[in-house]
DNA sequence: CTGATTAAATACCAAGTGGTACTAAATTGA
DNA sequence: TCAATTTAGTACCACTTGGTATTTAATCAG
């Protein structure tokens, strides 16, 4: 096994570094040369392993979003915690992800959605679709909470999901604006303060 | 007066069109050639009138923000309306600005703050400073409301301003995600629902 | 009509863009 | 030792980038 010249770089490492750079600089501002410097893999290697710049970016965004779904998302959607606890965990998780110590600042998905708003493209469609999946995750969980009697029967699940989705975006945007972590955590708490209005008596 | 060859394009029109294009596509994805096509002014004319690409973008962003301050901002900061009415007017104004019929989608300032997060630059500093001015405007008005007895004496003006600032960003982000106007309006109403918690008894 | 003045338009520059053909190196199995 | 195989690395491609020098056109004061 492993015939031929051995690899210099682990493609997974390269992929992670590429994702990080795209996250930091965005699609347009990141050149293939930047990626070569950052990852240590020469250009033909990048194309052989990941396809075009567009392909690589798309894969990176998908990976980023899948990771969100399988960690914070899964925890939120599946855990048995009461709805208010689940929502608090989710928002504080977003704070941690948006302003981690070692990671990038902000949200890769929001960055992409903003960068691609102006012109129709597959990337724009993809990033918007991810937003829709996020809202669906919220709706499903909130609906469960209504059925479980945690939220009022008349609670507007659609609007509530949109509201929480907006708070997630707000946290990422404020992180990009330079807000520090305590500020974001207080914001999350204040955002959760509307919840009692929907809670069952 | 008006010696020399007459202008083909009104520089103000050119500037407006440049602002619109930067708003739609962002800094990196907009080339000087795009601007030439969009504005109808040849490249040397652009440089003569507005300086470098960076200069032109900076001027456009400043103009955009000044316009916000002198319309929605002024109305919010100076009008005598009760605080809840003023906040509703502000948020619904943001909805209108983020999803107008003829204008661009989203917020030019948010777009810039997001695009420039990853790397230090004057543009990053400028856009963050504008965010800070927006929060200061909110703090000042909220403090007035506290003094006027409209909000509880112990209300945390700092946090409340940050909360409203976040809602403004959320609206712009959701507009970029493709949300329609009624959705954004319902979001604004829900965001305002936290206000009673701070209102004086 | 002339010369000064202002702006438009063309052409151009070096550097960088996404992407690829080709060569050189390093390993394994026979 | 020698192909076969797989990767790394160099060099290159046509095209676009931000930015400018230069020429041409259009106006007005005298």
pLDDT higher than threshold 60 for residue B97: yes
3-state secondary structure of B151: strand
Most A CBs within 10 A among B21, B124, B170, B189, hence the mutation to make, goes to: B170
Q: At what angle do helices A11-25 and A108-115 cross, to 10 degrees?
A: 60
Strand D-proximal residues, CB under 7 Å? A 3-9, 41-45; B 1-6, 30-34, 43-44, 47, 52-54
Taking the CA of residue B2 and the C1' sugar atom of nucleotide C2, their distance in angstroms comes to 19
> Which residue of chain B comes nearest to A116, CA vs CA?
B25
In whole angstroms, what is the distance from residue B128 CA to residue A59 CA? 30
Which range (B53-57, B94-98, B101-105, B196-200) has the least confidence?
A: B196-200
pLDDT higher than threshold 80 for residue B27: yes
Give the minimum alpha-carbon distance from A39 to chain B in angstroms, rounded to a whole number. 17
Contact at CB, B26 and A183, closer than 8 angstroms: no
**Number of residues written out for chain B:** 201
Low-confidence stretches of chain A (pLDDT beneath 70): 1-2, 201
Residue B121 at interface with chain A, using a CB cutoff of 8 Å? no
Q: How many CA atoms lie within 13 A of A72 on its CB side?
A: 20
User: What is the pLDDT, as a whole number, of residue B37?
Assistant: 97
> Which residue of chain B comes nearest to A197, CA vs CA?
B193
Taking the CA of residue B3 and the C1' sugar atom of nucleotide D27, their distance in angstroms comes to 6
pLDDT in tens, A27-72: 999 999 999 999 999 999 999 999 999 999 999 999 999 999 999 9
Contact at CB, A162 and B176, closer than 8 angstroms: no
CA distances A23 to A56, A105, B61, B192, Å, are: 12, 9, 23, 32
Cβ atoms of B54 and B123 within 8 Å: the answer is yes
In whole angstroms, what is the distance from residue A161 CA to residue A137 CA? 9
Cβ atoms of B163 and A155 within 8 Å: the answer is no
User: What is the pLDDT, as a whole number, of residue B50?
Assistant: 98
Give A199's contacts in chain B (Cβ within 8 Å): none
| Phi and psi, residue A99, nearest 5° | -140, 45
pLDDT higher than threshold 80 for residue B120: yes
Give the minimum alpha-carbon distance from B5 to chain A in angstroms, rounded to a whole number. 36
The one-character DSSP state at B109 is H
User: What is the pLDDT, as a whole number, of residue B196?
Assistant: 76
The one-character DSSP state at B117 is T
């Amino acid at each position: 096994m492993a015939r031929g010249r051995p690899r210099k770089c682990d493609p997974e490492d390269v992929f992670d570094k590429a994702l990080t750079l795209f996250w930091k600089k965005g699609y347009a501002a990141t050149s293939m040369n930047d990626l070569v410097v950052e990852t240590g893999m020469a250009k033909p290697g990048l194309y052989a392993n990941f396809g075009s710049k567009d392909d690589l970016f798309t894969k990176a965004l998908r990976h980023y979003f899948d990771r969100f779904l399988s960690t914070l998302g899964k925890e939120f959607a599946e855990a048995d915690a009461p709805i208010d606890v689940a929502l608090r965990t989710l928002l504080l998780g977003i704070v941690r992800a948006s302003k981690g110590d070692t990671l990038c600042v902000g949200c890769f998905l929001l960055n992409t959605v903003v960068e691609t708003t102006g012109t129709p493209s597959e990337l724009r469609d993809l990033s918007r679709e991810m937003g829709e999946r996020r809202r669906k995750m919220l709706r499903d969980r909130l609906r469960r909470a209504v059925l479980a009697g945690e939220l009022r029967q008349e609670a507007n699940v659609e609007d509530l999901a949109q509201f929480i989705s907006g708070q997630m975006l707000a946290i990422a945007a404020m992180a990009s604006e330079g807000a520090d972590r305590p500020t974001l955590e207080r914001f999350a708490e204040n955002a959760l303060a509307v919840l009692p209005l929907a809670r069952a008596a």
